[in-house]
Amino acid sequence: MYRLLIVEDDAGIAGAVGKQAEMWDFSVKIVEDFRRVLEDVAAFDPHIVLLDISLPFYDGYYWCGEIRKRSKVPIIFISSAADNINIVMAMNMGADDFIAKPFDQSVLMAKIQALLRRTYAFAASVPVLEHRGALLNTGDATLTYGEEKIPLTKNEYRILLCLMENRGTVVSREKLMERLWETDCFVDDNTLTVNVNRLRKKLDGAGLTDFIVTRFGVGYLVG
Instruction: Indicate if the alpha-carbon torsion angle 35, 38, 40, 43 is positive or negative.
Output: negative
Residues 6+ apart with CB under 8 A from 94: 64, 65, 67, 68, 75
What is the distance between the alpha carbons of residues 116 and 84, in angstroms, rounded to a whole number? 25
Phi, then psi, of 171 in degrees rounded to 5: -105, 125
Read off the DSSP letter of residue 129: E
Average of per-residue pLDDT across 86-93: 86
Read off the DSSP letter of residue 26: -
**Per-residue pLDDT, 15:** 95
Determine contact, residues 3/44, Cβ cutoff 8 Å: yes
Mean pLDDT of the chain: 86
Average of per-residue pLDDT across 191-203: 90
Residue 79 has pLDDT above 90, yes or no: no
Quote the percentage of the chain above a pLDDT of 70. 94
Residue 63 has pLDDT above 90, yes or no: yes
Quote the percentage of the chain above a pLDDT of 90. 39
Read off the DSSP letter of residue 150: E
What is the distance between the alpha carbons of residues 105 and 136, in angstroms, rounded to a whole number? 37
**Per-residue pLDDT, 29:** 95
**Measured CA distances, 68 to 6, 64, 126 (Å):** 16, 6, 24
Judged by DSSP in three states, 198 sits in: helix
| Among 16, 58, 12, CA closest to 33 | 58
Report the amino acid identity of residue 220. Y
